[in-house]
């Protein structure tokens, strides 16, 4: 109890020192209280921008608060832009923990000392973050691996700090006029789930395995193999990857990597994950991406750190593809209709009003060349505009928007002339074709085939049973004959309807496909 009280005092001291209360002054429901606070703490130096002060405060409060700031930086739909830009600079600059603690964790999780499990185990960690740290090792068969070890005592630390954040969130909701929109309690709850998910390293290993399987035959992306015999919830062992960090452009140029191709490959990888797989690496900042210079895989991306992934269902993908295509055709009415049809905007929303708001927000974007248009900014503007109409922003789309901004920033750092629309358009076209075209219909029929294969053979038996029941109820053979004749006629009519419907449906699908190719895809 005393430790919690001291921790709370430290949080209050840091908040006062960096003027975090001043960030909320303009939104306080009681301005007099805000003025009083500002007068009492007149000695503070608040000359630095508020975003800088917020970032410095979180760094002083420790790794859990740094993580919280990183999560907040993904919520561009909620947090002001100047704060988001500073929060996005937060890094896990956490000193490594004692190697003996790491060895004890490995021994507890895997049942043996690292010297028994591995041919070699490097005592000095190569990377350290708030949740875990990494040591290099060699398996007894000679394979080089990376051993990721969970930081000891993290669950207790997380539970204590998150409890304090929840208290602070309740206080913010009472004092801050804009708190209903910012949803502080929901944000803290989302952060709590995010952190506890990261505490289970088996989840990260499973994410990596899924992504590796999705790109098994890819010439664009490498994902490390997981060695499941050495994996647990607090220790995972994966293939060691060799490459140049993607942010070290001078080294990439020196190695002969084609930066333009690398840039477009990054966009292609992202859209493949989104529209083909509906499963994407959601933490693709430069620190988690290497570029291979090995002759066998030269120029391929290498993905690392799979603690955060995003998933999209067919509904999400359809929503995104329709919105992107409509945006670049400046068909704002279709954007508005898609929001209402999806159910994310209330059914009583007027299409013309939402259309007007989207146009006012997005039309200025198109005064620039396509290569300068940001997909991430389009999504962000869409979220901000939709807020007025009580549109519920889906968490998976917020994660997508954050990842898309990372990919755009990285791509244009490698190639300032990158045209995202030219690179992304084929994936949007393919998705639309698969959704509403003959190919999509055929794929869905194949997916349903096992069900049909089970039901269709039973139809004669079920028909026979139905006729037998009617025959038992019939008074004589003449009645039975009438029933059989009637059933035969009904069956013939049903078969005729099925044939006509199939022909009409096929013709309709073909017509829709031709229309979409002309109307949407140019």
Nearest to 325 by CA among 315, 338, 312: 338
133 labelled binding-site residue: yes
Phi, psi of 388 (to 5 degrees): -60, -25
- 446 known ligand binder: no
Q: How far apart are CA 463 and CA 487, in angstroms?
A: 10
* Residues 29, 174: Cα–Cα separation, whole Å: 8
Has 88 been labeled as part of a binding site? no
132 is an annotated ligand-binding site residue: yes
Establish whether 126 is an annotated binding residue. yes
Nearest to 510 by CA among 429, 439, 447: 439
Sequence-separated contacts (24+) of 412-415 with Cβ below 8 Å:
412/263, 413/247, 413/249, 414/246, 414/249, 414/259, 414/260, 414/262, 414/263, 414/266, 415/259, 415/260, 415/262, 415/263, 415/264
39: its two tokens: 């007068």
Is 177 annotated among the ligand-binding residues? no
Which of 77, 192, 283, 331 is the catalytic position? Answer: 283
Identify whether the C-beta of residue 265 lies closer than 8 Å to the C-beta of residue 398: no
CB count in 10 Å sphere of residue 327: 23
Report whether 468 belongs to an annotated binding site.
no
Largest CA distance in the chain: 105
Angle, nearest 10°, between helix axes 375-387 and 351-362?
140
Residue 86 token pair: 């500073």
Within 88-202, strands assigned E span 120-121, 127-128, 132-138, 144-150
Q: Residue with structure tokens 């990919």? A: 407
127 is in an annotated binding site: yes
Task: Note whether 307 and 131 are within 8 A (CB).
Answer: yes
Question: Does 417 participate in catalysis according to the annotation?
Answer: no
d(CA 479, CA 32): 91
β-pairing, 279-281 vs 289-291, is unpaired
| Cβ-Cβ contacts under 8 Å for 463 (sequence gap 6 or more) | 487
From residue 175, how far is each of 170, 180, 332, 404, 416 by CA, in Å? 9, 11, 37, 34, 44
Residue 148, annotated as binding a ligand: yes
Residues 6+ apart with CB under 8 A from 252: 244, 246, 259, 262, 291
Is 351 assigned a ligand-binding role in the annotation? Answer: no
Which residues are annotated as catalytic? 283
- Which residues are annotated binding-site positions for ATP? 126-134, 148
- Which residues are annotated binding-site positions? 126-134, 148
């Amino acid at each position: 109890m005393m430790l919690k009280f001291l921790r709370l005092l430290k949080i209050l001291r840091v908040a006062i020192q960096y003027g975090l209360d001043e960030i909320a002054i303009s939104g306080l429901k009681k301005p007099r209280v805000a003025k009083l606070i500002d007068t009492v703490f007149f000695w503070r130096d608040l000359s630095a921008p508020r975003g800088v002060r917020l970032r410095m405060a979180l760094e002083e409060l420790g790794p859990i608060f740094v993580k919280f700031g990183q999560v907040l930086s993904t919520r561009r739909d909620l947090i002001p832009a100047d704060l988001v830009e500073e929060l996005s600079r937060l890094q896990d600059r956490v000193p490594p923990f004692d190697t003996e603690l790491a060895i004890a964790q490995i021994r507890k999780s895997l049942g043996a000392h690292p010297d028994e499990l591995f041919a070699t185990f490097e005592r000095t960690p190569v990377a350290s973050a708030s949740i875990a740290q990494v040591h290099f090792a060699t398996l007894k068969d000679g394979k080089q691996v990376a051993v990721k070890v969970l930081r000891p005592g993290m669950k207790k630390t997380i539970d204590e700090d998150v409890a304090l954040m929840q208290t602070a969130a309740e206080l913010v909701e009472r004092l801050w006029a804009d708190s209903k929109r910012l949803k502080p309690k929901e944000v803290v709850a989302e952060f709590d789930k995010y952190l506890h998910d990261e505490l289970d390293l088996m989840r990260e290993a499973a994410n990596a395995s899924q992504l590796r399987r999705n790109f098994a035959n890819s010439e664009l992306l490498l994902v490390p193999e997981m060695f499941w015999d050495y994996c647990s919830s607090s220790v995972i062992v994966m293939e060691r990857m060799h490459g140049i960090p993607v942010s070290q452009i001078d080294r990439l140029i020196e190695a002969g990597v084609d930066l333009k191709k690398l840039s477009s490959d990054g966009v292609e990888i992202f859209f493949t994950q989104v529209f083909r797989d509906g499963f994407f690496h959601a933490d693709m900042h430069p620190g988690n991406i290497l570029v291979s210079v090995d002759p066998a895989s030269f120029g391929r991306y290498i993905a690392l750190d799979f603690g955060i992934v995003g998933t999209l269902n067919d509904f999400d993908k359809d929503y995104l593809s329709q919105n992107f295509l409509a945006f670049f055709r400046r068909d704002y009415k279709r954007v508005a209709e898609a929001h209402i049809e999806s159910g994310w905007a209330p059914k009583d929303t007027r299409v013309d009003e939402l259309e007007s708001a989207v146009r006012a927000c997005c039309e200025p974007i198109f005064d620039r060349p396509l290569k300068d248009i940001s997909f991430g900014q389009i999504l962000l503007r869409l979220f901000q505009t939709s807020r007025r109409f009580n549109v519920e922003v889906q968490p998976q789309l917020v994660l997508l928007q954050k990842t898309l901004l990372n990919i755009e920033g990285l791509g244009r750092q490698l190639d300032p002339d990158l045209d995202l629309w030219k690179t992304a358009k084929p994936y949007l076209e393919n998705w639309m074709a698969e959704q509403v075209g003959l190919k999509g219909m055929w794929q869905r029929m194949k997916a349903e085939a096992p069900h049909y294969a089970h039901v269709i053979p039973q139809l004669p038996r079920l028909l026979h049973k139905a006729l037998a029941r009617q025959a038992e109820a019939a008074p004589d053979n003449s009645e039975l004959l009438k029933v059989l004749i009637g059933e035969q006629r009904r069956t013939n009519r049903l078969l005729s309807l099925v044939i006509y419907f199939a022909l009409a449906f096929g013709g309709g699908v073909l017509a829709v496909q031709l229309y979409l190719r002309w109307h949407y895809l140019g």
